[in-house]
Amino acid sequence: MKEEGQNEKRYLFDNPRNVNRLLGCFFSSLVILLVIDLFIHKHPHFPWEGWLEFYAVYGFVACVALVLAAKYILRPLMKRREDYYD
Partner 1 sequence: MISTVPPAFIFIIGGLLVPFIKGKWKSAYLLLIPVIGFINLISIPEGNHWVVRFLDWELVFGKIDRLSLLFGYIFHLISFIALLYALHVKDDLQHVAGLVYAGSALGVVFAGDMFSFFVFWEMLTVSSIFLIWARRTRAAQAAGFRYLLVHAAGGLCLLAGIVLYVNQTGSIEFGYIGLNGLATYLIFFGFGLNCAWPILHPWLTDAYPEATITGVIFMSAFTTKCAVYALARAFPGTEALIWIGAIMTGFPIFYAVIENDLRRVLAYSLINQVGFMVCGIGIGTALAINGAVAHVFNDVLFKALLFMSMGAVMYRTGKINGTALGGLYRTMPFTCICCMVGAASISAFPLFSGFVSKSMVMDAAAEGHMRIIWFILLFASAGVFHHAGIKIPFFAFFGHDSGMRPKEAPLNMLLAMGIAAFLCIFIGSFPGPLYSLLPYPVDYVPYTAPHVVGQTQLLFFSALAFSLLLLAGIYPGEQRCVNLDFDWFYRKGGRLFYYVLDKVFNTLTRASEKAFVGGVAGYLGRVSRDGPTRVALLGLVPAWVIGGKTGEKLGVKKISLRGALQTGTLPVGISAAVATVFLIVVFLLM
Q: How far apart (Å, rounded) are the C-alpha atoms in residues 81 and 20?
A: 38
User: What 3-state class would DSSP assign to 52?
Assistant: coil
55 lies in the site for partner 1, by CB under 8 A: yes
Of 17 and 46, which has the nearer Cβ to partner 1? Answer: 46
Q: How far apart (Å, rounded) are the C-alpha atoms in residues 35 and 14?
A: 33
CA 25, chain centre distance (Å) = 13
7 lies in the site for partner 1, by CB under 8 A: no
16 lies in the site for partner 1, by CB under 8 A: no
Binding positions for partner 1, rule: CB under 8 A: 1-2, 11-13, 23, 26, 29-30, 33-34, 36-37, 40-46, 49, 53-60, 62-64, 66-71, 74-75, 77-82, 84-85
